[in-house]
Structure 1
Amino acid sequence: MQDNALNNQSARHEAAQVLMLGIGDEIFAIEASLVRDSATKAQGDFGRGYRGELTRSAQELTGVCAALQGRCARSASFTGQAATRARELSLAVGRAIVSLQGGDSARQRLEHVGAGLELAPHVLAASSEHDDDAQTANLLIRLETAQLGGAAKDLGRDLATISAALNRVGRDTQALVELGRGLIGDDADGASSFLESLQRTLCEAAELTRKCEAARAPVDRVARAVGVMMSEFDETIEALNAIIRDISRIGVNSGLKAARLGAEGRGLIVIAQELKDVARHISDEGKQLAPVVALLQQATKGLDRTQSQGGGQIAAIDATLRTVLDQLRQSNLRLSGGLAELTKDAAEFGAVLGNAQSNILAMELVNETLRDLVQSIGAGVAPGEFATEDQEERVCGRVGDLVSAFYTMAVERDIHRAVLASVNAPPADRQTPDGPMEDLLWSA
């Protein structure tokens, strides 16, 4: 009887524990509901507070990325165009230098013409009509007039080439500056440049990530609460398993006691059977609950992992944005400085080109004066007739002796030959032999 009392007392204790577990489950359900409501509220508050901002920021960042890709493509194109412009600029400067060298050749030719014309008065001073001195002076003036006309013609051509080259240099320089302004967005109306707009957008995105980091605090609290609840739930499951084992042991003991007591143990048999049924029922409930517990544990681990990854991602995004902003600031400083330097150099070069153009215009006026002088001298020089072929040969030879020492360019000798050929005399140039080697040695 004492054993029956002990078994009954143990059964009551286990039943009380099961009842307390049921109450604990209800409390767990209430806590889970509160946590769920808190998480739902936090999610709703975050959505209302940041969904629109996040959507707008995402759209702006997408647009910025597209614009940045376009800028990168234009930068690559700018590099190629700048290289092309630089080559064209170098060629234009080279052509201008070559043309200026041609202008120096014209100066030398004019000096040679002046030296030749200075000889004419000395020849005329001792001349009389139809003698060799008069014919020599006459042919000398005709020759130098032709040399002066050729020099004026070539000078005009060189001046036109120089002017075109300088204009091309100016256009290429301005085009290079415009390419640089187009690259970094130098707005004439004072609006912010592309890089400044990009920096502002990225600053807003960085600020938004910090707000998201602050908004994660309620989510972190929910995650911690869920973790605590899952720990308590695990303890409850362990306690429930212990109760099942105790009930099963009590049922077995009750069955053994009932077998020894015989008829007096019928009550114990009923109790043992009820305990076995309770244990089986609890075990079945536990088996059905096992998948749910596994899902809850998996969800908790996923929440912890997402929380950790989310925090790491936000920190990485913030660090990346800060790095990008620093790089953009440095890039903006370099580009702005480069554009300012390019604009300054272009302005200085433009002033040089302006002075050069003014000098070219002055030279063109001088060239016009030379052409008028050629016409005036040509009109005042008589064609001249030689009394004999011997006189013609002597005069041509004497003229060649007087001026051939001045010639340093092939074009001067070509004009000399043409003028002598016009008086039906072979060229007489005894001091500088004709031929390809002579042209090579004396050409400029």
Structure 2
Amino acid sequence: MSAVAAISDRQSGDDGFRGAGARPSPLLGHRQRLNGTTAEVEQIFLGIGERLVTCVGILGDMQSAFGAVTTAHDSPELASAETAIRALVGECLGLVERLQHERSLIERLSRALAAAAPRIDELRQTVAMIAAIAINARVTAAGMRDHGNSGLTVFTDDVLELSKRASAVVDELQQGQVRLRKLLGDASTRSETFERNFRTATQTLKERTEANLRGAVAERIQAGKVGSSATSVSQEIAQEVATIVASMQIGDNTRQRLEHVTAALAIAGDHAAARPAIMRLQLAQLADSRDHLVSETSYIRDAILVLSRRIDRSFTALKGELAKAGGADQPGAQRLASDVCEAAAELSQSEAEHAHVDALAQTIGGDVELFRACSDEMRTLEFEMRLVSLNTAITCSNLGREGKALGVVSLQMRELVGEMVTRSEAVAGALSELGTIAAELSEVRSVSAERSMATLVAEAERSLVLLQTVDGRLETVGTVLSELGERVAMLTFDAGAALGRLDGLVDDLSEVEADLAMVAGDEAEGLDAPSQDHAALFAELRAAYTMEAERQVHDAVLGGDGRPAAEAAGIDDGAVDIDAMLF
């Protein structure tokens, strides 16, 4: 309750005006209209204040959204994600080197196999000569049957059979060599082509990935700058809102002054003699309050308009800066997606190529075992041929001169068997290098397989998801900015609309003022001038004012500064000063 209202209650109680039989005040309707207007003024100012405070809350939401982006960009997970993507690309570069090593091993295999080819041919020639001698020995032995030497035929048959077995072993060696040589030729051509393409693609991928990772870092830096700008903008706008809200506290003076006018009209109803002066005074107070309300409304309307334009410009600028931070046509987190996909595809192709190498290594391993078995078979044949040749030589020596021809054949066969052994060892030595190189090739593949390509791709894809999540938060901020901008614009629009309602209230005050002026003019006729006894009443009214503007209007209407009357009424000037300081 205002101080003027307290005076009104006390005066009414002294005169018995509030009693059950008291007549209604002639100013009751005007007071009620003023009370309604006062309530609406308060409601409007409170509504505007709530909307502006909501704007500050929205700015807090914007800062939270940017804070989430900053937190995501500064997270250690993001750094590990970039590391994983670099590791994926680095693995591609490592594969290039391993591919080159594998291809060099395949070329060594081809050279080793090519070196064994002439030795196999020489071995074939030797075995063919052994077969020819075996046939001659058989013919010679056949001519000696009449002399009871049929056992020689058995020996020569054995030699012929052994030569056929040796020839079959050589055929198997040669077929394996031809088959493996063709396989290695195809593998070398494919490996060379793949390595060349893979090296080019990987180098391009590395350069693009590094550029995109640098772009992602730049995006984070830009996002941090935008976040700082958003914080700064939020603080500045919040300060502007606080200034407007503080100015609206001044608007509360209008409500108090209207309450004072209403209370003074109640006092006027109880003091007929003083009523003209009180009415004149309240008309002046009402007019001044209305003018102040118009002035305050104009100031707040302009301030809210400036605020609305400031928010629109700020949000537009922030969205533009965000667009620079995450542009799809710029290197950054968005384009890393295609890099990871391409790296995964390259690795998948390399896996397919390595599957061919694995198959090649297994085939070579099988052929090496075949060649080793052939070499063992040739040693067995050597032993059996020497044994047959020795038995033949012994039998021929027992025959004397008749066995001399077959003995010569046996000697030639022993010499060729020795040559066959020498050439067989040469072939075995040449082919043994295949096993060594194949083992090295398998070791390279086992080292490559220690870290699964699928694991690398999965890590990179998880990292990409994290990068895209951060990028998504950046996009979310842009969406939040748009939504918050619309919400703030709507709030400022509502505040402006509420201020429009104040214009109607100003018209209401003007109507009340006009009606009160008519009442004051009618009642001023035939009433006595206020007595000196009412000086204390006016002094008490002046002392109860809460604003200097009210005191100035009071003095302008009634004259003087009010202090002598206050002293005469026994009013403590300190109370006036305290009120002035408080309000």
Please report the TM-score for the alignment, with normalisation by the length of structure 1: 0.58
Q: What is the rounded CA distance, in whole Å, between the counterparts of 1:84 and 1:259 in structure 2? A: 114
3-state SS of 2:488 partner: helix
**1:28 corresponds to which residue?**
176
Matches within 5 A, 1:403-442: 403-405=542-544, 407=545, 409=546, 428=567, 430=570, 434=574, 438-439=578-579
Matches within 5 A, 1:172-187: 172=311, 174-176=313-315, 178-180=317-319, 182-183=321-322
Identify which of 218, 234, 238 aligns with 2:369.
234
Identify which of 347, 356, 359 aligns with 2:486.
347
Cα shift at 1:294: 0.8
3-state SS of 1:93 partner: helix
| Shift in CA distance, 244/394, structure 1 to aligned 2, threshold 3 Å | farther
| Shift in CA distance, 8/415, structure 1 to aligned 2, threshold 3 Å | farther
Unaligned runs of 5+ in 1: 128-132, 371-392
Q: Does 1:294 align with 2:436?
A: yes
Does structure 1 retain, via aligned residues, the 8 Å contact 2:213–2:336? Answer: no
| Shift in CA distance, 32/288, structure 1 to aligned 2, threshold 3 Å | closer
| Shift in CA distance, 71/336, structure 1 to aligned 2, threshold 3 Å | closer
Identify which of 27, 50, 71 aligns with 2:219.
71
| Shift in CA distance, 239/112, structure 1 to aligned 2, threshold 3 Å | same
3-state SS of 2:574 partner: coil
Q: What is the rounded CA distance, in whole Å, between the counterparts of 2:345 and 2:463 in structure 1? A: 16
Unaligned runs of 5+ in 2: 1-148, 511-531
**1:379 corresponds to which residue?**
none
Q: Which amino acid aligns with 1:30?
A: V
| Shift in CA distance, 43/272, structure 1 to aligned 2, threshold 3 Å | closer
Worse overlay, 259-268 or 240-249: 259-268
State the percentage of identical aligned residues: 12
3-state SS of 1:434 partner: helix
Q: Which amino acid aligns with 2:215?
A: A
Q: What is the rounded CA distance, in whole Å, between the counterparts of 1:402 and 1:59 in structure 2? A: 85
After superposition, what is the alpha-carbon deviation per residue over 1:285-317, rounded to whole angstroms, capped at 9, x for unaligned?
Answer: 5346534421123224545775x689x636963
Cα shift at 1:240: 0.4
Q: Does 1:99 align with 2:247?
A: yes
Q: What is the rounded CA distance, in whole Å, between the counterparts of 2:333 and 2:256 in structure 1? A: 61
Identify which of 271, 292, 306 aligns with 1:167.
306
| Shift in CA distance, 401/22, structure 1 to aligned 2, threshold 3 Å | same
Cα shift at 1:29: 3.5
Worse overlay, 230-239 or 261-270: 261-270
Q: What is the rounded CA distance, in whole Å, between the counterparts of 1:76 and 1:186 in structure 2? A: 10
**2:382 corresponds to which residue?**
247
**1:402 corresponds to which residue?**
541
Cα shift at 1:68: 3.4
Cα shift at 1:236: 1.4
After superposition, what is the alpha-carbon deviation per residue over 1:167-198, rounded to whole angstroms, capped at 9, x for unaligned?
Answer: 346524653464346436799xxxx9569x97
Does structure 1 retain, via aligned residues, the 8 Å contact 2:389–2:413? Answer: yes
Q: What is the rounded CA distance, in whole Å, between the counterparts of 1:410 and 1:57 in structure 2? A: 76
Matches within 5 A, 1:324-403: 324=464, 328=468, 339-340=478-479, 342-354=481-493, 356-357=495-496, 399-403=538-542
CA-based RMSD: 6.4
Cα shift at 1:59: 5.3
Cα shift at 1:204: 9.0
Worse overlay, 91-100 or 419-428: 419-428
Which structure carries more relative contact order (alpha carbon 8 Å, separation 6+)? 2
| Shift in CA distance, 24/111, structure 1 to aligned 2, threshold 3 Å | same
3-state SS of 1:346 partner: helix
Matches within 5 A, 1:34-53: 34-43=182-191
Cα shift at 1:231: 0.5
After superposition, what is the alpha-carbon deviation per residue over 1:291-346, rounded to whole angstroms, capped at 9, x for unaligned?
Answer: 4421123224545775x689x636963896599579959975x8767645642442
Worse overlay, 173-182 or 197-206: 197-206
| Shift in CA distance, 36/270, structure 1 to aligned 2, threshold 3 Å | closer
Worse overlay, 65-74 or 426-435: 426-435
After superposition, what is the alpha-carbon deviation per residue over 1:211-268, rounded to whole angstroms, capped at 9, x for unaligned?
Answer: 9857976774565355324302222113203423553576589779979998989877
| Shift in CA distance, 285/42, structure 1 to aligned 2, threshold 3 Å | closer
After superposition, what is the alpha-carbon deviation per residue over 1:150-169, rounded to whole angstroms, capped at 9, x for unaligned?
Answer: x9789968965785476346
Q: Which amino acid aligns with 1:346?
A: G
Q: Which amino acid aligns with 1:313?
A: M
Q: What is the rounded CA distance, in whole Å, between the counterparts of 2:209 and 2:336 in structure 1? A: 7
